[in-house]
Amino acid sequence: MANQEKFKTMIGGQALIEGLMMRGPQKDAIVVRGKEGLTVEVSDRKVRPKTSPLTWPIIRGPVSFFDAQICGVKALMRSADLSPEQAEETPSKFDQWLEKKLGDKKFQQLLVGFAVAMGLGLSIVLFFLIPMILGSFFDRWIESTLLLNLVEGVIRIALFCVYIILVSRMGEMKRVFAYHGAEHKTIRCYEAGLPLTVENVRQQTRLHPRCGTSFLLVVMIISILLFSVASSLLLAVIPALAAMHGSFLYRLIMITFKLLLLPLVVAFSYEINRWVGRHDNWFTHALSAPGMLFQKFTTNEPDDSMIEVGITALEAVLPEHEGDDRW
């Protein structure tokens, strides 16, 4: 199977409803297949200067993550508007009332803000808060901070695995995951230096080491390490807290402390994912292997029409100067 990279691109994307979003160094593209063919919408990206503090290591991780969430939600909502199933639906009276009161632009901003907040909130509750609460009950039998955080991490990863597997079996998600596969295969073909044709793209693997699924798994693992170190330091700095071990107040303080550390978890995970993506050796292959395994559930083999969408989306965001998209 042809998947040998000649270089690594920073171009990435997201599966949408009957389409794909691709993000390049200067442009974003949304491509959706409707009843009348492909709809292509290309917009310029706001590129931050390299001197901006928001591009500094550690800071850039949470900033990029939050920016990607907003962009992803906007693209998903736009694809819903353009998809054949949604095109004929009439907005509800409540939606019409909100749009009338707020105006179209503010209405869209409100929807995006609400969707991002709900998405992040549910993710934090499901993959962090619930594992923290469940893991905290083991402090009755386990005094080791490292072991407690390891138990919590196992619960977190188990919930993540169950969630991924259940979502992958939902009928309506199979086509979305097939578009996800088309995104990966198209990028693989481009990185291999092959012409972007349906035949060439079809031959590529649907797994990619720099996928968001891999990033989420890195977040899970880094949270175990960071929470363990930070919790140990907190107990060393505040000995009175250690004396409260096992109490409700102790659990509440530790859970709150860990939630406050989440931006730092994302920051370190982003830097590690960035480093792994830039290197190609046995060590980085081992680090990316679990994420690649998860992609077997979050990607499906696309048909030729989906591959065409992937090619169109990628070509729309290619930089003017070759190599400007190097990872």
Let me know if residue 65 belongs to a domain. Answer: yes
Over 70: is that where the pLDDT of 3 sits? no
Residue 33 banded pLDDT, cuts 50, 70, 90 = very high
Least confident of 18-22, 93-97, 121-125, 165-169: 93-97
Residues 6 or more apart in contact with residue 287 via CB below 8 angstroms: 218, 272, 276
Determine the pLDDT at residue 192.
Answer: 94
Residue 243 banded pLDDT, cuts 50, 70, 90 = confident
Determine the pLDDT at residue 11.
Answer: 94
Give the burial string for 247-273 (b: 16+ CB within 10 Å, else e).
eeebbeebbeebeebbbbbbbbbbbbb
d(CA 208, CA 117): 28
Let me know if residue 3 belongs to a domain. Answer: no
Determine the pLDDT at residue 87.
Answer: 47
Let me know if residue 325 belongs to a domain. Answer: no
Residues 6 or more apart in contact with residue 313 via CB below 8 angstroms: 13, 19, 20, 21, 22, 29, 30, 31, 40, 183, 186
Over 50: is that where the pLDDT of 97 sits? no
Q: Across the chain, what does the average pLDDT equal?
A: 86
Average pLDDT over every residue of 116-130: 87
Determine the pLDDT at residue 84.
Answer: 67
d(CA 323, CA 9): 8
Over 80: is that where the pLDDT of 167 sits? yes
Average pLDDT over every residue of 168-176: 88
Let me know if residue 7 belongs to a domain. Answer: no
Determine the pLDDT at residue 104.
Answer: 60
Identify the domain containing residue 275 by its residue range: 12-313
Average pLDDT over every residue of 168-191: 93
Least confident of 1-10, 211-220, 260-269: 1-10
d(CA 128, CA 159): 10
Let me know if residue 123 belongs to a domain. Answer: yes
Let me know if residue 1 belongs to a domain. Answer: no
Let me know if residue 2 belongs to a domain. Answer: no
Residue 93 banded pLDDT, cuts 50, 70, 90 = low
Q: What one-character DSSP code corresponds to residue 54? A: G
- pTM here? 0.85
Beta-bridged to residue 172, according to DSSP, are none
pLDDT above 70 covers a percentage of the chain that reads 91
Higher pLDDT, 8 or 140: 8
Residue 310 banded pLDDT, cuts 50, 70, 90 = very high
Pick the most confident of 1-10, 109-118, 273-282: 273-282
Let me know if residue 321 belongs to a domain. Answer: no
State the total domains in the chain.
1
d(CA 87, CA 227): 46
Over 80: is that where the pLDDT of 111 sits? no
Residue 109 banded pLDDT, cuts 50, 70, 90 = low
